[in-house]
């Protein structure tokens, strides 16, 4: 899905924050919505619950500061975008849960770049908090064994999910 988004014709893709930059470009928003709908429509067709993820994989505070959208509430905007998409299916739709997504620091395929436990907690807590406060249904981490292993972020522990591939 993400490579499709990257090549979807939007000028909004921002190297610092990736797909989150598409939230601020009309074409980008259309591409994000259309791509998510392709998947969500399948769940709706069969009455199955689905998970829709915010486009915030690279929207940590340090990445936002380096982006063309510094100063914006990107995580909240990503959550709002996905909640509006969910609402567009109406009150009788099959459930759609919104996952607030955070990604790895640096290149997730280079473990030597990973921060230690304390640095990881300090780096990711603001984004996780912003997504939780924006009303996502749960948080989804990509490649974050360190956060869950050390029971970090107890304030949000009831909203944690872990995903890696």
Domain boundary assignment for the chain: 2-163
Q: Lowest-confidence range among 73-87, 101-115, 130-144?
A: 101-115
Check residue 148 and give its pLDDT. Answer: 46
No. of H helices and E strands in the chain? 6, 4
pTM, to two decimals: 0.82
Q: Of the CATH numbers 3.20.20.10, 3.40.50.300, 3.40.50.150, 3.20.20.330, which one belongs to the domain with range 2-163?
A: 3.20.20.330
Higher pLDDT, 119 or 61: 61
Between the CA atoms of 70, 58, 156 and 50, what dihedral angle is there, to the nearest 10 degrees?
Answer: 120
Q: 62: helix, coil or strand?
A: helix
- Label residue 2 by pLDDT band (50, 70, 90): low
Distance CA 46, CA 79 (A): 25
Read off the pLDDT of each residue in 21-29 and give the average, rounded to a whole number: 92
Residue 34 belongs to what H/E stretch? Answer: helix 26-45
% residues pLDDT > 90 (the chain): 54
For residue 29, which phi and psi values (nearest 5 degrees)? -65, -40
């Amino acid at each position: 899905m993400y490579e499709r988004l990257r090549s979807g014709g939007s000028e909004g893709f921002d190297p610092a924050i990736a797909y989150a930059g598409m939230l601020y470009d009309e074409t980008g928003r259309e591409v994000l919505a259309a791509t998510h709908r392709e998947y969500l429509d399948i769940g709706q067709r069969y009455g199955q619950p689905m998970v829709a993820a915010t486009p915030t994989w690279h929207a940590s505070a340090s990445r936002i500061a380096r982006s063309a959208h510094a100063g914006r509430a990107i995580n909240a905007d990503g959550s709002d975008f996905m909640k509006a998409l969910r609402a567009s299916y109406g009150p009788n739709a099959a459930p759609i849960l919104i996952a607030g997504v955070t990604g790895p620091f640096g290149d997730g395929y280079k473990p030597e770049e990973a921060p230690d436990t304390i640095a990881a907690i300090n780096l990711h807590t603001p984004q996780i908090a912003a997504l939780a406060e924006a009303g996502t249904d749960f948080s989804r981490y990509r490649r974050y064994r360190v956060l869950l292993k050390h029971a970090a972020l107890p304030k949000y522990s009831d909203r944690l999910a872990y995903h890696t591939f």
